């Protein structure tokens, strides 16, 4: 904890998933709350089952100051069109959750996993955010505030995936595997290429391959 009395952990989910949103979460933790996180068994969401993630997310939302920014595929594609850089989109999202939490409580630091130059986040912060120290480091999820944020982000991502799947009538899969590609291909055949705007992060290589195949099929 390095003497910190209150700090914000931030993390994201969905950046490696072709389908679904990009979700960034932040959780504020003070030194008196660390034992509660340990008691709950909070750890990096990659080490937890989907059911456990959803269960812990409900408790964290109730007991800890937090913020979630959900960037839908439509919004993500627009941001990509403007920024052309994933790290800049991530910085924008991390900055927003930090600012939102600072509206509710005072913290002097924010910690996240290292995904680019710290200046990306610093430039995206507004007045309150510019007053805190930004720490980006490898394996940041070892910090329990970041681990809690990773759980909130993943739970929201899972919920949004279920919602989108229900809306289009097809169960979308996580990741960017061959199975994901086959699902996208089938959806394009049934609904047209426009369906990708609503369900996918279109800058992934999968899109280029599918659209090229679609063009060559005529």
pLDDT at 212: 77
**Gap between the Cα atoms of 198 and 21, Å rounded:** 10
Whose tokens are 């994901």? That residue is 180
**Gap between the Cα atoms of 136 and 118, Å rounded:** 7
pTM check: above 0.85: yes
Return the ∠ at Cα 63 (arms to 59 and 65), rounded to 5°. Answer: 120
Contact 15, 86 (CB under 8 A): yes
Mean of all residue pLDDT scores within the chain: 91
pLDDT over 80 (residue 18):
yes
49 φ, ψ to 5°? -75, 160
pLDDT band at 156 (very low <50, low <70, confident <90, very high): very high
CA atoms within 13 A on the CB side of 95: 20
CA atoms within 13 A on the CB side of 210: 25
pLDDT band at 127 (very low <50, low <70, confident <90, very high): low
Q: Strand order in 109-113's β-sheet?
A: 66-71, 22-30, 6-13, 109-113, 133-137
Return the ∠ at Cα 104 (arms to 102 and 109), rounded to 5°. Answer: 30
What 3-state class would DSSP assign to 107? coil
Could you report the per-residue pLDDT of 176-200, keeping only the tens digit for each? 999 999 999 999 999 999 999 999 9
pLDDT band at 218 (very low <50, low <70, confident <90, very high): very low
**Gap between the Cα atoms of 76 and 161, Å rounded:** 15
Could you report the per-residue pLDDT of 46-97, keeping only the tens digit for each? 999 999 999 999 999 999 999 999 999 999 999 999 989 998 899 899 999 9
* Tally: H helices and E strands in the chain: 9, 5
By mean pLDDT, which of 84-93, 143-152, 206-215 is the weakest? 206-215
């Amino acid at each position: 904890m390095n003497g910190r009395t209150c700090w914000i952990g931030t993390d994201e989910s969905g950046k490696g998933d072709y389908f679904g949103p990009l979700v960034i979460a932040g959780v504020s933790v003070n030194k008196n709350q660390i034992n509660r996180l340990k008691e709950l068994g909070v750890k990096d969401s990659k080490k937890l089952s989907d059911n456990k993630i959803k269960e812990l997310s409900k408790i964290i939302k109730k007991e800890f100051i937090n913020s979630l920014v959900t960037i839908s595929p439509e919004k993500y594609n627009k941001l990509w069109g403007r920024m052309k850089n994933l790290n800049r989109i991530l910085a924008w999202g991390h900055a927003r959750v930090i600012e939102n939490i600072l509206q509710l409580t005072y913290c002097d630091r924010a910690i996240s996993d290292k995904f680019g130059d710290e200046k990306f986040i610093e430039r995206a912060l507004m007045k309150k955010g510019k007053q805190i120290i930004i720490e980006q480091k490898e394996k940041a999820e070892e910090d329990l505030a970041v681990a809690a944020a990773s759980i909130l982000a993943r739970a929201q991502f899972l919920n949004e995936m279920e919602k989108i799947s229900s809306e289009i009538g097809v169960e979308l899969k996580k990741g960017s595997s061959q199975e994901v590609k086959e699902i996208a291909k089938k959806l394009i055949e049934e609904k047209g290429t426009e369906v990708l705007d609503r369900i996918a992060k279109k800058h992934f290589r999968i899109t280029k391959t599918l659209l090229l195949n679609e063009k060559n099929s005529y």
